[in-house]
Structure 1
Amino acid sequence: MPQHPRRLLRGTALLCALALGAAACGSGDDTADRKQVSRAAIDAALKKGGTVTVWAWEPTLKQVAADFEKQHPGVDVKLVNSGTNVDAYTALQNAIAAKKGVPDVAQIEYYALGQYALTKGVTDLKAFGADKLAKSYSPGPWNAVQANGGIYGLPMDSGPMALFYNKKVFDKHDIEVPTTWDGYLDAARKLHKADPKTYITSDSGDAGQTTSLLWQAGARPYEVDGTDVGIDFGDAGAKKYTDTWQQLIDEKLVATSITPWSDDWYKALGDGTIATLPSGAWMPANFATGVEEAAGDWRAAPLPQWREGEKASAENGGSSLALPELGRNKELAYAFVEYANSGDGVRTRIENGAFPATTKDLNAKKFQETAFPYFGGQKANKIFAESAARVRDDWQYLPFQVYANSVFNDTVGKAYVSGTSLAQGLKAWQDASVKYGKEQGFTLR
């Protein structure tokens, strides 16, 4: 559940992980040939006990670790916050390169997991029977932890998208909540005409939001088969997105000068300057803690559709727990990951504010009937659970997505501050990503 801006990793911090000759960064073991680990072996490891070092920034894991230790007195879970994603990935890669101090478990976001899987920096969990959990998870997160026939993490949470909107502002101007993106554009025009200081949303250029909306629109810019990578932002889905979003920018209907997660952004959400926010289901906690003055004003609604009658959604954010290949105590480490992400730990995390990736919990009556005081008592989890079920599961990230996201503002971001169009910006992002991929030894098309 992100409660901070998604900071992006720049430069060469992950070059060791990305270079195709980087097998030396890992153990060199062929995880595809790893022998199956029996349940008896996992149970024996739990009985024997030992230390499991977990690098993660997710706050709900603290209680999960304590409960796991209580169930297994011989186990010591050493939970280490090595920083949020940018810091954590740098620290993890440094440890892998040095072959020293590598954790047994690491939190890795879905968009970043592929590069670790490709270079065998993390363990294929099929050997532990993880493939049997396929039906336990919603489609987006489960698809995200798979690569090249392997399973490289268990989904910890998910971010099915919804449209958060300020009901007070919409009611004041007698505007209906849009169900399509064309309707969203119309609502933006009406809002701005009624009050020039009100914007339908803020958008100063964000790689995560852009890729999520492209995902929902049916764009599939990335095709990845091992080291063979295709990048193309010119399909019909991308055109749907750029046609609509370009009008929002050109007509100055979005606040392009307000940066997400900044003090100005929180203030604008609180005073009605920003009227909607398309985001992941983890967002309610951020409203409750960061926009307290607007409690009762906001609600959640299904994400607008690109075509009337369509029922499509996308993920925005989310993380897995993976086992670094150089980590120790793998049976014990997997037991913890399984407990945290598919066992009793899931409910503990939900109770502490996390949004689950497990279908059993998403469909539970208690979960869906939970009232959100911040949203005026709305049972918003019903909307989020429906969104999770509608996520198209054929999306792929680049095996160097962390780098690609880091140059987003240098390419697509120019459309928000200059005469560059979004279509031109996406083409520039494509070209920059292709150039970098070739430099790292990938086959690009």
Structure 2
Amino acid sequence: MTIHRRRRLVAAVLALVTAGALTTACSSDSSSEETSEAATGTVEFWGWVPGLEDLVAKWNGKNNGIKVNFHRMTGDDGEKVEAAVDAGAGPDLVQLSTHDLPDYVIAGRVKPITKYVQDIKDNNTASSWASVTFGDEVYGVPQGIGPAGLMYRTDLLAKYKIAVPKTWDEYLAAARAIHKADPKVYLANLSPTEIGQWMQEVQQAEGSWYGTKGDAWTVGVNDAASKKVAARWQTLLDEKLVTTQKMWTPEYWASVNAGKIATISYAAWFPSQVVENAGKTSGKWKIAPLPTNAGSNNSGDSGGAAVVALKGSKNVSIAAKFASWLNDSDETQETLISVGGLFPSTKNGLASPALMKPQPFFGNQVINEVFADAAARTPATWKEGPNYGTAQTAVTDEFSKVVTGNQTFLQALDKAQAATIDDLKSRGLSVAQ
């Protein structure tokens, strides 16, 4: 990207945060790049939502001339995608956190798909569509949102006579009680690398990593809301009331299956992961609202995702056609909800009977009633920024030092704050102190 074009894109992202809806135009090479695209071809798609293999097979079975090859993302595949794109390779489509999209736009890693997706705009919530829109261009198709809840083991709480915590104060008391009753059982696992669990609590406390002041960015990685969450996490860690395994590892799921972890606080898409990885615990779980802070009824959200077309795609039109069908078609909503565990950002998804079905794994509870309520109680205070990836890495790197006892969460936040500001300045962006 030229410096001039990069600055225009940066201005567009800044306008998104400031105004919520953009009027500043981003430059686009789409007219010259896509005029010769064919109506048929092959699309390489990387994603992580359960059930995508079945939906890709359904699409390929339609014999519409567009074949999709799917790769299930695991481990560090997200980093591999970024490196591949920067090297001029990578898949056509990838599932991406909307937190990362501003950074991808500024770095030129994604292509605009505006003219191919206008027919699905009205099927998406305004907030989810805004999360993929920069200037006059759309860079992805929304794929779910992440309102939070508290998954808990009914058998374990009953065994130790512990009530489901409604507030974070009650949560701390429950953590002490359960570990005192059985030193081998913990109320929760505190994963230093799972940023979504941290962010949902920061958003609940009305914090944000980014904001604007005049023409400059503000950075709030160590803002008052984050410090409030840090104090809670520090207490849990200092009193050895939580395990600190990295989430998604075999060791983590072994602890869940063994009944060593009594609760998991996470987003609406996570219950499907419990079903997939802890099948033997079926019938022992229910979901409650995320515990609240004193004097507040706020819930939290860990962010949504989108399917984006990467800059290496040779045929963006067919990639966008598949992405639109995958996320907005009536025939995909049930699978995305029931198998994928997505909480939909689409209007037909929110209206789908599949969203409010009783879930046998969770004792026939209609779990999405909890998440729908959480979505309605999540404050609109979080703002996306251009170097979320850098901020996330800084936070998780420093948190990993906290769980080994080398520093506190507050020290970690201060270091991550400084690293985020330094990175923004290195990109030529103004930062208000």
Distance 1:374 1:146 in 2: 37
Match of 1:332?
318
218-227 vs 75-84, which deviates more?
218-227
In the other structure, the counterpart of 1:183 is 170
Given that 1:280 and 1:315 are in contact with CA atoms closer than 8 Å, whether structure 2 keeps it comes out as yes
The aligned residue for residue 439 of structure 1 is: 426
* Structure 2 counterpart SS, 1:413: helix
SS at match of 1:428: helix
Which residue is equivalent to 2:283? 296
Residues 255-312 of structure 1, C-alpha deviation per residue, up to 9 Å, x if partnerless?
Answer: 23x3322333223222332111111222222222322332221111111111345133
Q: Does 2:76 align with 1:86?
A: yes
Q: Is the 8 A contact 1:159 1:315 kept in 2?
A: yes
Q: Output the CA distance in 2 between the equivalents of 1:359 and 1:400.
A: 27
| Distance in 2 separating the partners of 1:181 and 1:362 | 32
Q: Are 1:301 and 1:383, in contact at CA under 8 Å, matched by a contact in 2? A: yes
Normalising by structure 2, what TM-score? 0.82
Greater shift, 397-406 or 174-183, is seen at: 397-406
- Identity over aligned pairs, percent: 26
For residues 346 and 224 of structure 1, the distance between their equivalents in structure 2, rounded to whole angstroms, comes to 37
TM-score (normalised: structure 1): 0.80
Q: Does 1:280 align with 2:270?
A: no
Pair 1:418 & 2:408 matched:
no
1:104–1:323 CA contact under 8 A, matched in 2: yes
Provide the rounded CA distance (Å) in 2 between the counterparts of 1:34 and 1:56: 25
- CA contact 1:228–1:444 (8 Å) conserved in 2: yes
Which position in structure 1 is the counterpart of 2:202? 214
1:218–1:238 contact (8 Å) kept in structure 2: no
Whether the aligned pair in 1 keeps the contact of 2:218 and 2:431 (CA below 8 Å) is yes
Q: 1:302-381 to 2 correspondence within 5 Å?
A: 302-308=289-295, 310-315=297-302, 318-344=304-330, 345-361=332-348, 363-364=350-351, 366-381=353-368
Q: Is the 8 A contact 1:175 1:187 kept in 2?
A: yes
Amino acid at match of 2:261: I
Distance 1:361 1:180 in 2: 33
Residue by residue, what CA displacement relative to the aligned partner does 1:312-332 show, whole Å, maximum 9, x if unpaired? 32125x431112345233332
Partner in structure 1 of residue 192 of structure 2: 205
CA contact (8 A) 2:144 2:305 kept: yes
Q: How does 1:7-406 map to 2 (within 5 A)?
A: 32=26, 49-58=39-48, 59-71=50-62, 73-81=63-71, 83-84=73-74, 86-91=76-81, 93-98=83-88, 101=89, 103-128=91-116, 130=118, 133=121, 136-137=124-125, 139=127, 141-148=128-135, 150-206=137-193, 207-223=195-211, 228-256=216-244, 258-308=245-295, 310-315=297-302, 318-344=304-330, 345-361=332-348, 363-364=350-351, 366-406=353-393
**Structure 2: tracts of 5 or more residues without a match:** 10-23
C-alpha distance 93-305 of structure 1, shift in aligned 2 (>3 A):
same
Residues 401 and 384 of structure 1, relative CA distance in 2, 3 Å threshold:
same
- In structure 1, stretches of 5+ residues that fail to align are 1-16
3-state secondary structure, aligned to 2:26: helix
2:44 partner letter: V
Q: State how far apart, in whole Å, the 1-side matches of 2:112 and 2:273 are.
A: 34
Cα RMSD, aligned residues only: 3.5
- SS of the equivalent of 1:77 reads strand
C-alpha change, 1:328 and 1:31, in structure 2 (3 Å) is: farther
Output the CA distance in 2 between the equivalents of 1:385 and 1:362.
12
**Per the alignment, in what secondary structure is the counterpart of residue 32 of structure 1?**
coil
Q: What CA deviation, in whole Å up to 9, does each residue of 1:217-249 have, x standing for no partner?
A: 111122269995321234332232123222222
Q: Distance in 2 between matches of 1:337 and 1:227?
A: 35
